Amino acid sequence: MHTQTHTLRIDLLVDLSTHCQKQQTSHKYCPNLWVIKEIFKAHPLIGCWPVYLSADAPQSPESFKDVLEDFEQKIMPGVVHWNHPKFFAYFPSGNSFPSVLGDMLSSAIGSIGFSWASCPAAAELETIVMNWYAKALGLPKAFVSDAPGSTGGGALQGSASECVLVSLITARARAISELKGQTSVHDSVFLPSLIAYASREAHSSVEKATKMALVKLRIIDADEHGRMRVDLLRQAIQNDVNAGLTPFFVVATVGTTGGCAFDDITEIGKVCRQVSSIWLHVDGAYAGNSFILPEMRVFSAGLEYADSFNTNPNKLLLTNFDASALWVRDVMTLKSALNVNPLYLRHEHLNGVDYRHYGIPLSRRFRALKLWFVFRTYGIKGLQEYIRNHMALAKKFEMLVRKDERFEVRNDVHLGLVCFRMRTGDEPNHMLLAQINHSGKMHMTPAKFNGRYVIRFCVTYEHATEKDILDAWSQIKCFAEEILRDHQLESSSVPTTPEGTERTSSEPMAPVAGKPPIKKKLTRTKSLRFSFTRSISREQYQSQSEHLMDGCTPILVVDPKTLQENFQQAADENDRNTNNGSNGAISSPNKNGCTKLKNISDVDTDEGSN
């Protein structure tokens, strides 16, 4: 990059987008990487391990070709492919070619749109796109800034966690202002009395936000469907008011992370309305996007009670990370909570929106551009089609699981997530997930849903097909059969462990009669390029394998010999530094000045996977 000037070829981008659209072409493993590869004319992937990366930045410029080659050979093999057809973990990482192209343009433009004056197009487009988005989801008019009489509006943020924090800080400012009245006491005096509420199934970002804001959080239990118990919320608020606390923030979730449960916003909203200091925030990071479908709006009923609502187009709206949308009913409350106004940021265009008052950072990327590209390229119909496809495929998977009496589905499947398990204790299910992930053929994650260990199967791939689902199911069944056979478990005859009496993973398996269980060696793929899970050392794996049964089993394994050598080398280096009177800072470059990355040992190979 130092020696050459790389300008973005807009004509090439347009050609590419047309080509992608016509051909529905995608890179086999990483669809949008294909676009990037074409633009930079990168070389084909060549697996090359072990990998050495320099411990120091180069003094002299290197050729861009070399950098890209290293990217292909040294970085890509360690990348987890969230856009893979067999990636069923977490929630989707939204992506699509229009989004990537929009994002690249935004990066190339490099405008830092913190105020209207700093980039008028960014500010104007954000307002337009946030209103398109709100209307597409059928949000209450109070959130749409161009609706008659509205005092609300939205802004793009970096993550759902940020949206929750910004809402909480706004709610905190409003509550403190009410408590403080005309007095001149410092705001912090009121912090000990503030208390927030969220369900046990709410995302951990709520806990994090309350930690950062130094306020109390009361966790409310959920019902058997994973929905917040509104009776318990009402009771808790009442108790806290009686105890002299100030309930100020309630988070309801539409589409919980563990089981995609939808809290009853109407009932929660009615409770919140009874206490004037309460701000109701609704977190719809994943499932909020599904309100683009009229048939899903049964779950958005009650949003008229909400003070704020967030959703991540980077999860379920084909928009690449990062893009989170936050709408508030009263923009003035948000702006006054976050407003600072130094002279160097002021300008004369007082009617223009300054989005720096809508969030934490001053500098803001031109995120509206990619969302605008997505809306225009797919249209609302295209986005609806995409989500309906995920829903149909999840239903298909649910049906397959339910038809097999050895398995059970534990959540209500409304969208793309199915939480399933074998009808055994937890341990065989830990093993099943470990086997699934270790195969390198699929990736899934675990959760505790309604007190039960479940395997989360989430449809994530943009162009997912029924074949992907059928293939995954037949693989899962094979692994399950092996586990059940090896442990002489007849899952259909093993009743589901009664609620609350579940075995923990440290408890022994069911007694084994007849042949001893085959201690199956977990295998991984030989292909080094595409893997799903993170790397850890073999030693770590062996020493922690019980804990790792939660699905964090390694696909990339550090070669023990190399690890030992590296360790020894680092220790020697450290000794030398200490003896030389160096300050002992942690640094372990090898003799070539290189720090060794993970070295993959091809244990048992499994050709053709991934």
In the complex, which residues of this chain contact ligand PLP (CB under 6 A)?
Answer: 91, 159-161, 203, 205, 253, 255, 257, 283, 285-286, 312, 324
- Measured from the CB atom, is 91 or 197 closer to ligand PLP? 91
- Measured from the CB atom, is 288 or 440 closer to ligand PLP? 288
Q: Nearest approach, Cβ of 282 to ligand PLP (angstroms)?
A: 10
Q: Nearest approach, Cβ of 360 to ligand PLP (angstroms)?
A: 13
Dist. CA 447–CA 463, nearest whole Å = 25
- Kindly tell me the number of DSSP H helices and DSSP E strands found in the chain: 16, 15
Instruction: For strands 246-253 and 417-422, give the pairing.
Output: unpaired
State in Å, rounded, how far the first CA of the chain is from the last one: 33
Dist. CA 586–CA 577, nearest whole Å = 10
In eight-state DSSP terms, residue 42 is P
- Measured from the CB atom, is 286 or 397 closer to ligand PLP? 286
Q: Nearest approach, Cβ of 255 to ligand PLP (angstroms)?
A: 6
- Measured from the CB atom, is 240 or 263 closer to ligand PLP? 263
DSSP track, 185-218:
--GGGGGGGEEEEEETTS-HHHHHHHHHHT-EEE
In eight-state DSSP terms, residue 28 is S
Q: Nearest approach, Cβ of 158 to ligand PLP (angstroms)?
A: 8
Instruction: For strands 452-458 and 445-449, give the pairing.
Output: antiparallel
Dist. CA 332–CA 304, nearest whole Å = 18
Q: 253 has which bridge partners? A: 283
- Measured from the CB atom, is 286 or 373 closer to ligand PLP? 286
Angle between helix 204-213 and helix 160-180 axes, rounded to 10 deg: 40
The alpha-helical segments, DSSP class H, found in 42-136 are 64-70, 97-109, 120-136
Q: Nearest approach, Cβ of 462 to ligand PLP (angstroms)?
A: 18
DSSP track, 592-610:
TSEEE---B---S--TT--
Q: Nearest approach, Cβ of 207 to ligand PLP (angstroms)?
A: 11
Q: Nearest approach, Cβ of 161 to ligand PLP (angstroms)?
A: 3
Q: Nearest approach, Cβ of 550 to ligand PLP (angstroms)?
A: 17
- Measured from the CB atom, is 291 or 473 closer to ligand PLP? 291
Contacts (Cβ under 8 Å, ≥6 apart) of 310 = 157, 160, 163, 164, 167, 281, 282, 283, 284, 285, 288, 324, 325, 326, 327
- Measured from the CB atom, is 150 or 205 closer to ligand PLP? 205
Contacts (Cβ under 8 Å, ≥6 apart) of 576 = none
- Measured from the CB atom, is 101 or 260 closer to ligand PLP? 260
Contact between residue 445 and residue 75 where contact means Cβ atoms under 8 Å apart: no
Dist. CA 461–CA 231, nearest whole Å = 38
Q: Nearest approach, Cβ of 73 to ligand PLP (angstroms)?
A: 30
Q: Nearest approach, Cβ of 201 to ligand PLP (angstroms)?
A: 9
CB atoms within 10 A of CB 386: 20
Q: Nearest approach, Cβ of 285 to ligand PLP (angstroms)?
A: 3
Q: Nearest approach, Cβ of 68 to ligand PLP (angstroms)?
A: 29
Which token pair is 589?
A: 């470059």
- Measured from the CB atom, is 206 or 528 closer to ligand PLP? 206
- Measured from the CB atom, is 317 or 528 closer to ligand PLP? 317
- Measured from the CB atom, is 25 or 159 closer to ligand PLP? 159
SS3 state at 290 = helix
From residue 356, give the alpha-carbon distance in Å to each of 117, 337, 409.
Answer: 12, 12, 45
- H or E, element range at 155: strand 153-157
Q: Nearest approach, Cβ of 315 to ligand PLP (angstroms)?
A: 7
DSSP track, 302-336:
TGGG-SEEEE-HHHHSS--SS-EEEEES-HHHHHH
- Measured from the CB atom, is 257 or 535 closer to ligand PLP? 257
Length of the chain: 610
- Measured from the CB atom, is 206 or 555 closer to ligand PLP? 206
